[in-house]
Every structure is written in structure tokens, then in C-alpha cells.
Amino acid sequence: MMRQAILLTFLTLAMSSNAQEKKMLVYIADPMCSWCYGFTKEITKIKKIFENDLQFGMIMGGLRPYNKEVMDEKLVKFLREHWEDIGKKTGQSFRYNVLNWENFQYDTEPAARAVVVARSIVPAKEFDYFKHVQNSFYALNQHPHDVDTYVRIARDLAIDATEFEKRFLSQEYMIKTSKDFELSRKLGINGFPSLLLVVGEKSYIVVTSGYSKAAPLIAKIQEVLDEAAQDK
């Protein structure tokens, strides 16, 4: 019941005034999560198919926020093999120059904060912004701790770059980002990507916790929606 109440609070804030009457997909992910990057094409398909039936919201899960540990050879080896495996399984393109960066700390908070800021300025562009941040790191190896990385993306998506930078650098949005991480934890999410389907005021299901192809998830979502329609 506690998790349902927490999610309902999020929905009330994220959706319109009659939010409790609506159905919604909630995507919990991190822009620097490699499996989330691998899931990009699949979640895009899912979102597109149900765009007329389901609202769509995001929560930044917090993969390695505030990490201060410098990448060592062991982590570099693991990430290279991990990314190669994801690339083979998903078709996503990875660039590996980042693994040669000196003194790089794999802190995922700035990337998540950038998405939270984009959400606050133009909510309808949050998902596109999220995907651009993923691409900037994995495909382009743009530095995830450089504010210019995120300002450029904002500008490319016609988001007010001046306002974006102001909010990104503020203590207020550091706190707001931590609230996303906290919400993810309170919902019991322990793997990314995760996708929830909210089907009523007090009901939601976990569609997936981890990578999956779109087809079985689409079928699962449709089955739940059909059952909900029959129960009315």
C-alpha cells in the first residue's frame, strides 16, 4: 500500500488534475545506464504504440549518483566487455574513448539532473532530451560532467539554454534530482530499465525490470488494458 501511495503522489504531480482516472506508463531509468541505452529503441516503440491510450512519465533511477571513485583497469575491462555485449544484443552503437579518460569518476547524477531540468522547462521534451543525453555519452563520448554537454542538447531541442544552465547549476535542482532517486528506491526498483503500468488509482504492475524486446512488453501491456476495459 505504501508503494502505491508513493506512486499515486507522483502521478498526481506528473499528470493533469484528473490524473487518478487515467492510465500511465512510468519509465524508470538512468541516462548513463548502458542497458537503458540498449533499451532505447524498444521503449520508443512502446511509447509510440500507446501514445493515444497511455500517458508517459519518467523517474530518474540513479545508477551511480555522487560516485567519487576513479575508474580503474578492472572497471574499464568490465565496462568494455559489458558494452560490447549490449551492442551485439541490441544493435546500439558504442564508442569506447571514454574508457581511456584519465581520472574519470562514473558519477551519473549530472546526467540525471540535466533530464530533470529539461522536464521542468518543457515536460513534453523530457524523453527526447533523455535519449539525446544517452547518445551524447555512449555514441559521442561527450563529457557527462560538463554543463556545456547538456546546454548544447537543450539548444538542439529548442529548450531555453540560458534558463536551462541556470537551473542545472542550482542547488534547487540538485535536490529535485535526489527526489527522483529517492522515489525510485521507495518504489522498490532495483534494476534499470524498469517500466510500470498504472491501471487505476491503486493499481500498477511491473511490466519489466531489465532489458527486453518491445514485442512481449507490448503484448503484456495490451492484455492488462483489455482486462481493465472488461472490468468496467
What is the CATH classification number for the domain harbouring 206?
3.40.30.10
Predicted local distance difference test score (pLDDT) of residue 87: 97
pLDDT per residue of the chain (232 residues) written in tens, 0 to 9: 455 555 655 655 554 444 445 789 999 999 999 999 999 999 999 999 999 999 999 999 999 999 999 999 999 999 999 999 999 999 999 999 999 999 999 999 999 999 999 999 999 999 999 999 999 999 999 999 999 999 999 999 999 999 999 999 999 999 999 999 999 998 889 899 999 999 876 578 999 999 999 999 999 999 999 988 887 6
Tell which phi-psi region holds residue 141, choosing left (phi > 0), alpha (psi between -120 and 50) or beta. Answer: left
Residue 19: predicted pLDDT: 47
- Which residue, 52, 62, 46, 55, is CA-closest to 26? 55
* Backbone CA torsion sign across 209, 112, 176, 201: negative
Which domain covers residue 92, as residue numbers?
Answer: 2-231
Report d(CA 126, CA 34) in Å as an integer: 19
pTM of this prediction? Answer: 0.92
The count of structural domains within the chain is 1
